[in-house]
């Protein structure tokens, strides 16, 4: 691993720690748990680095956040480490093996006694599957990533926290709006980061990172 990649990992994790301190919306059905701006930042690590390294960056950031700021030590809280990791993997990978995750989550939801009574909810996770076959569209890629995270997080909630079918049914319109906003935030963050990296690449060799220049708002002749 190059020193530059380590440096950018440190920067990414630091920004993630800041983002995790800024709440975005309440996580319905729980107390003292919220979505933060980390939901916008975590997935793009898979694009900037690579799927495996981006997933590691998301895990590292969350682990450091827990170590520094503390939190509840319960099963659901620990399982909440995984949605961001899978979102980063989805966002960064070009392989379709990631589709096992939303498909498995659909099956697990319908197999649960409560989930079986709210079957429409799990159909959200058709979205990340369909998004893989609609071309290289940044918003759909972001939407697939955030719904992959949603699938993993929902299964963690379903299997660890008591709930009623009515809760899941009532959440359907909320989730739709919420995830569209998250996907917009992910796409915007990716454009901003690619633009900054493109500007830096004019003077610094950044071959250790994946700069998707079609999403940069400015273009420079780089040293790569």
Whether the Cβ atoms of residue 105 and residue 154 lie closer than 8 Å to each other: yes
Q: Which helix (H) or strand (E) is 23 found in, with range? A: strand 23-26
pLDDT for 131 equals 95
Q: Give the pLDDT of residue 12.
A: 95
Q: Please report the pLDDT score of residue 73 as a whole number.
A: 75
Q: CATH classification of 3-215 is 1.10.1760, yes or no?
A: yes
Cα–Cα nearest to 215, from 205, 147, 50, 196: 196
pLDDT confidence of residue 204: 87
Query: What's residue 80's pLDDT?
Result: 87
- Distance, in Å, from the CA atom of 153 to the CA atom of 169, rounded to the nearest integer, reads 16
For 97, other C-beta atoms within 10 Å of its C-beta total 8
pTM for the model: 0.91
Domain boundaries, the chain: 3-215
Going residue by residue through the chain (224 aa), what tens digit of pLDDT does each one get?
678 899 999 999 999 999 988 887 666 555 556 678 899 999 999 999 999 999 999 999 999 999 888 777 778 888 889 999 999 999 999 999 999 999 999 999 999 999 999 999 999 999 999 999 988 899 999 999 999 999 999 999 999 999 999 999 999 999 999 999 999 999 999 999 999 999 998 888 888 899 999 999 887 655 54
The pLDDT of residue 162: 92
């Amino acid at each position: 691993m190059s020193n530059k990649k380590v440096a950018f990992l440190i920067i990414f994790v630091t920004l993630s720690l800041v983002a995790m301190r800024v709440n975005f919306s309440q996580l319905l059905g729980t107390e003292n748990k919220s979505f933060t701006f980390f939901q916008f930042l975590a997935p793009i690590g898979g694009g900037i680095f690579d799927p495996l390294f981006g997933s590691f960056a998301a895990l590292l950031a969350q682990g450091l956040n827990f170590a520094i700021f503390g939190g509840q030590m319960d099963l659901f809280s620990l399982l909440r480490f995984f949605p961001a990791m899978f979102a980063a993997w989805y966002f960064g990978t070009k392989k379709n093996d990631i589709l096992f995750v939303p498909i498995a989550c659909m099956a697990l939801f319908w197999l649960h006694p409560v989930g079986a009574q709210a079957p429409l909810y799990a159909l959200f996770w058709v979205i990340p599957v369909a998004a893989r076959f609609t071309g290289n569209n940044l918003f759909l890629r972001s939407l697939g990533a955030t719904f992959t995270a949603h699938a993993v997080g929902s299964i963690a909630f379903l299997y660890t926290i008591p709930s009623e079918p009515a809760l899941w049914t009532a959440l359907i319109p909320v989730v739709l709006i919420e995830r569209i906003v998250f996907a917009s935030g992910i796409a915007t963050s990716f454009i901003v980061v690619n633009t900054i990296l493109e500007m830096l690449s004019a003077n610094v060799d950044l071959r250790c990172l994946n700069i998707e220049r079609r999403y940069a708002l400015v273009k420079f002749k780089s040293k790569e």
